[in-house]
A and B are shown apart, each in its own frame.
Chain A
């Protein structure tokens, strides 16, 4: 047990709206945080907030996931009305927002019937609908070096295209070519302070323990390097398998078409 463990108040992990936004196994992110804290001996509590519950203002890490347009708009409204998340972020809480949750953290996104819905503005990003097909497949991302989390692996599946403003930093740069849609964004996700948004599923923390530990370290006011190492052998094997799949072109994206094939060949 780390010396820093003794006498600590529990890390409070808040899983937001598993009922509204839990389409992609997103509850897994909270489970990963919970287990990695507990395995190191840190006391941890988890609060699962539904659309009918009050949102805690004193969470250390808030986790929100992906889902459909209608529930996404409702989640955004509930968060805006409550103000709890803005308050917690001001007080230093960390946020992991995935897919629809990522879009909610921005200025606006596309709701039901192509309406524009206001987000929370915790990230300087704006989401519009992709003019191309849904963006689906394996992604590898070299995360921003200041985060110290290395290479991220994930699976994306979304119709929204998120553009970053000046105040948001890309979560990382896409390794290789992300081929779908006319924009073919070369960066993935965004972060600002301790608010992290991404399209990566897997769930993202299950595939990327360094990112989970980054969030835990924020909550503990430690550096990730201060955390005891864990037995991540099974995760290392998964990362190796998914990385190989993404790099081999078996990235689940189907045939990207001749232009992209040529571009990929040239970029090798």
Chain B
């Protein structure tokens, strides 16, 4: 439980960052 919580805390911003960057990167194919 403690391990899952610790990973969730760091994974949440990382997923946000990757998703935002991927959204921006998609402009390479659409822009």
Are A and B associated in one complex? no
